[in-house]
Structures are given as C-alpha cells and as structure tokens.
Amino acid sequence: MAAHRAPTEYLEQRVRQLLLLQEVVKKVNSILDLETLLDEIVGGVAETFGCTHTAIGLIDDSGNELEVIAARGFFEVRKGIRFKIGVEGMVGHVCATGTMRYAPDVRQDPYYLPTESSTLSEVDFPLISRGKVIGVFDAQSPSLNGFSPEQIELLSALADNIAIAMENARLFRQERLEKERALREQEEARHIQRALLPGCPAVSGYAIDGVCLELSAVGGDWFDYIDLPDGRWGLVLGDVCGKGMAAALLMAAARSLLRRAAAASNSPSEVLTRVNEAMLRDMPEGRFVTMVYLVLDANDGMVTVANAGHPAPLLVDHHATHEVLETAEGYPLGLMPSRYSEANARLQRGDRLLIYSDGLVEATSPNGEEYGASRLLDHMRMRDPSATSLLADVQSFVHGGSLQDDATALVARRT
C-alpha cells in the first residue's frame, strides 16, 4: 500500500497534482513546441507525484519501436533510446495492447524490464490519438505500490492531454510544412514572373518603360514588349483573373499565345481575336484575362490599339491635352466569342502614352482615399513622366494605406 501521510500533507499534494493537470491542459492548447512541453510534463510529474523516473515514448516511423523523446530521473534511459514494441518491458507491452498497466511491485510483473535499480512500482499509459496508439507515458516510483488510485486517475488524464499535445504538434508541423512548401512554390512562381517581365527596350526616338507593383507574392498583372519587323513594336499589358499559382500559369499561357499571334499578324484586333479563340478552346471555364495590345510604328509614331476589357490607354500630348483611346468592341479574353475593334493615334515629339491596370487608380491612402484618375492624369502631364516615376508616386501616396490589386503601368514617350 502507498505510505500513509498526514491529512494536511495529502491534501496539499492532491492540490499540487490537480494544479499540474490544470497547467498541462492549458499549455497543451498554447505551446506548439512539443519537446519543451513534454520536458515540462515529465519534470512536473516527477516533482508533484514523487516519482523518481518519468518518461514519454513515441512510436517511430517504422511502427516497430518506441523511441524515448522526454525523460527525467533515469540513469540508463535517455532521449533517443528505443524499446521493441510487444517485446521489451512494460512500455513495449502497453504500446502493443493499448491498455494501461500498473505494477505495484515490478519484481512480480512478467513484463517488467529492469532499467533502474531503485524502481519498485511502475505505471504505464498508452497515448492514443484518433483511436490509434502513438506512444506511452511511463512513471516509476521507489516505493512499493507507489501510486494510489487517485494518482493513477490523474496520470491517466495527463496521458490523454499528452496525446492531444502530440496530435496538435503533428498538425502544426504538417501545416507549417505545407505553408513552407506553398511559400517555396510562390517564390519560384515569383522568380518566373519577374523573369517574364522584360527590361526597357531600346527604341530610337522613344523612352519606354514598364513597372509592376504586386499585391501578393504571385500577381496577375504582366506586360511585354514585342520587337516586330519594319521598326514596329508591340506593347501589351494584361491582368489575369485571380492570384496565386493558377494566375501565374494563366499569365504564362496568355503571354505565349499573344507572342505567337503577334508574330503572325500586324493587326492588334486580329491578334486579340486569335488569343481569345485559343483561350476559349484550351483554357478552363471561369478564367479570363483583360488586355490592351497596341502596335507602335517607331518610324512615324502611329499607334494602333485593340482592347479586351481593360482600362483604355491614356494619351497626353506635349500641350498637356489628353485623350482616352477608347475602342468600340472587345470582351475579356477567354470569356466568350468577341470581336475586337481598333483605335488609332499618332505620337508627336513630347507626347506620352500610358497603359495601366485598374489597381493603380484604386490604390488607397491611409485615410481611405483612392489615387484616382485625376492624380494619374496630373502625373502624366508632368515633364518627362515614366512608369517608374508614376509607380513611385503611387507608392508614396499609398504609404501606410494599401493596394487593392496589382498596380502596373507601361509608358511610351516620344522624345
């Protein structure tokens, strides 16, 4: 029988044991570092229950051995040591059967495996998660019948919470690994997207640049320059529906389709028609792209524009007069069959042409005010504006606020 204690001493110990259980329950839901939590548990049990040795073992990946992952008070048993399930010791037996085992006198227990000379009684609890044994909680005492029924009940409750902690840690680790994998994939997609965004083209008599501010790691905006025959250049800016990996894949596909169509036709409307037909044929439903595609003839400054549901380009001449290059027809690409009409303009020296995404005008200041079309126009009326200067102005405006979407601009200025 357990040693008799004065009622006051017994009550104090009982209170300490209950407080330990309460503390463990609290920590199970707050500590995600499993190793730290289990070390605290075996230490707390040893101190509060008067055990000389406490340990927690976890079934390894092979399912054949129990590995000690936390231990207190042992000389021979340490972290990393293993016991064969169903073969070695009471812990191996409990792990195999999934049933608690108490040996009031370990010398009389057929499953006991001597590990510490001072141990006279031992109790082992299976750690069960989702109906499956995942490990064992072991406590040993230097006294014969060193665990009362009340103590065993409390230790059993502790074992249940240890199993919960292990499951929480497993889920947390799984979630963390999934997030890390997703972040790696996003970073790879970001590198690919940035590699697809071109540097400024060298076009005699013109200054052309493009900049994209991404709201998320993998954005939906993109732009491109296409070197065409006879001094002509194709300029394109697109906005893919959605974000993430799916948007990145659709962006790459749209870019490839656009370049292929641009190589086969001089007409922007025909180019968008071909891209739309290909997307309707090959892309999944519900995915679409808005796009402006224009051809600039660097020889005479003639610009021909076709638009697939995108904000219309803005032309500001050297007198600061502006014109919006609207087209009559053109649905987003991949949405439905559509015709694409064209608009024309001619760039004179000092004129500047802007293509942009709606995330630029929707950028919001800290007080909730949008950047808006008027600020956009004011910036384009400044001396020698560029996509770089425009996006820098947007970033300054947003400072402390937020982007509602990717913000992208492409500016062609005739010098």
**CATH assignment of the domain containing 116:** 3.30.450.40
CA 391 to CA 361: how far, in whole Å? 11
The answer to whether 90 and 101 have CB atoms below 8 angstroms apart is yes
Indicate if 276 and 322 belong to the same structural domain: yes
Mean pLDDT, residues 97-120 taken together: 94
CA 22 to CA 14: how far, in whole Å? 12
CA 321 to CA 335: how far, in whole Å? 35
Q: CA 391, 303, 354 angle in degrees (round to 5)?
A: 10
Mean pLDDT, residues 229-240 taken together: 94
Indicate if 115 and 47 belong to the same structural domain: yes
Whether 59 maps to a domain, the answer reads yes
Residues 6+ apart with CB under 8 A from 47: none
Indicate if 107 and 32 belong to the same structural domain: yes
Scan for tokens 């037909």, then name that residue. 277
In the predicted model, is pLDDT for residue 24 greater than 70? no
Indicate if 21 and 152 belong to the same structural domain: yes
Domain of 81, in residue numbers? 7-175
Indicate if 90 and 153 belong to the same structural domain: yes
Indicate if 98 and 204 belong to the same structural domain: no
Whether 247 maps to a domain, the answer reads yes
Whether 224 maps to a domain, the answer reads yes
Whether 168 maps to a domain, the answer reads yes
Indicate if 128 and 248 belong to the same structural domain: no
Whether 182 maps to a domain, the answer reads no
The mean pLDDT of the chain is 86
Q: What is the dihedral of CA 380, 385, 386, 391, to 10 degrees?
A: -60
Mean pLDDT, residues 69-85 taken together: 85
Whether 2 maps to a domain, the answer reads no
Which residue, of 116, 142, 175, is where some domain finishes? 175
Burial class (CB in 10 A: 0-12, 13-18, 19+), 368: exposed
Whether 34 maps to a domain, the answer reads yes
Q: How confident is residue 333, by pLDDT bands cut at 50, 70 and 90?
A: very high
Indicate if 137 and 254 belong to the same structural domain: no
Which residue, of 175, 209, 244, is where some domain finishes? 175
Tokens coding 14: 């009982």
Indicate if 44 and 122 belong to the same structural domain: yes
In the predicted model, is pLDDT for residue 407 greater than 80? yes
Q: Comparing C-alpha atoms, which of 342, 353, 235, 237 is closest to residue 294?
A: 235
The phi and psi torsions of 217 (rounded to 5 degrees) equal -60, -40
Q: What's the half-sphere exposure (Cβ side, CA atoms, 13 Å) at 359?
A: 26
Indicate if 235 and 279 belong to the same structural domain: yes
Count how many domains the chain has.
2
CA 66 to CA 43: how far, in whole Å? 20
121-132, pLDDT tens digit by residue?
A: 999 999 998 899
Q: Comparing C-alpha atoms, which of 307, 296, 304 is closest to residue 238?
A: 307
Predicted TM-score (pTM) of this structure: 0.61
Higher pLDDT: 380 or 212? It is: 380
What pLDDT is recorded for position 16?
A: 63
Which residue, of 145, 175, 205, is where some domain finishes? 175
Q: Which of 79-83, 180-184, 204-208, 343-347 has the lowest mean pLDDT?
A: 180-184
In the predicted model, is pLDDT for residue 413 greater than 90? yes
Read off the DSSP letter of residue 108. G
Amino acid at 169: A
In the predicted model, is pLDDT for residue 346 greater than 90? yes
Indicate if 230 and 111 belong to the same structural domain: no
Q: How confident is residue 192, by pLDDT bands cut at 50, 70 and 90?
A: low
Indicate if 165 and 207 belong to the same structural domain: no
The beta strand positions in 214-332, using DSSP E, are 221-227, 232-240, 289-297, 302-308, 314-316, 322-324
What pLDDT is recorded for position 244?
A: 67
Phi-psi region of 121 (alpha: psi -120 to 50; beta: other; left: phi over 0): beta
Whether 188 maps to a domain, the answer reads no
**CATH assignment of the domain containing 266:** 3.60.40.10
Higher pLDDT: 164 or 261? It is: 261
Mean pLDDT, residues 166-178 taken together: 78
Scan for tokens 């400054």, then name that residue. 301
